[in-house]
Amino acid sequence: MENNITKAEKVLYTGKTTTIGGREGNSKSSDGRLDILLSSPGTNGKGTNPEQLFAAGWSACFIGAMNIAASKLKIKLPEDSAVDAEVDLCLNGDQYFLQARLNVKLPGIEKELAKTIVEGAHQTCPYSKMSRGNIDVEINLL
């Protein structure tokens, strides 16, 4: 079977964290810039959860990918462009899985042009590439 994994020519950055205690623990980055409490989704815990962290990372990365797609079209994205990412933790029988929605706002950009930018971003964004074919992803242009 052929492997479609892209091999790195150059590593640009490596995010390093250590998590202790799982969903009820804490995570710290090796550089000390991240130090967060974790708690399970839907509980009264004081921390965030992996689904929120994944949503935050994906939405930030997706905006960067939209900037790349827009620049190729010689367009500047509006400053109030936004991506609301929703990551669901799901259960089917005894199997856990994720599904996600990216709700994209590109105010002032014509709808067809916005679709082109979003489609380009979805092809470029590393988070989108990671999820493609692995989880159900819905992208909505609002």
Structural domain including 102 reads 49-141
pLDDT for 3: 65
Calpha distance 123→66 (Å, rounded)? 10
| Tens-digit pLDDT profile for residues 1-58 | 556 788 999 999 999 999 999 999 999 999 999 999 999 998 998 999 999 999 999 9
CATH (domain of 26): 2.20.25.10
Q: Number of folded domains in the chain?
A: 2
Domain match, 62 and 27 both? no
Closest CA relative to residue 54, chosen from 26, 31, 25, 88: 88
Domain match, 68 and 78 both? yes
Pick the last residue of a domain from 31, 48, 65: 48
| Tens-digit pLDDT profile for residues 56-84 | 999 999 999 999 999 999 999 999 999 99
Mean of the per-residue pLDDT values of the chain: 95
Residue 18: in which H helix or E strand, if any? strand 17-20
| Tens-digit pLDDT profile for residues 114-126 | 999 999 999 999 9
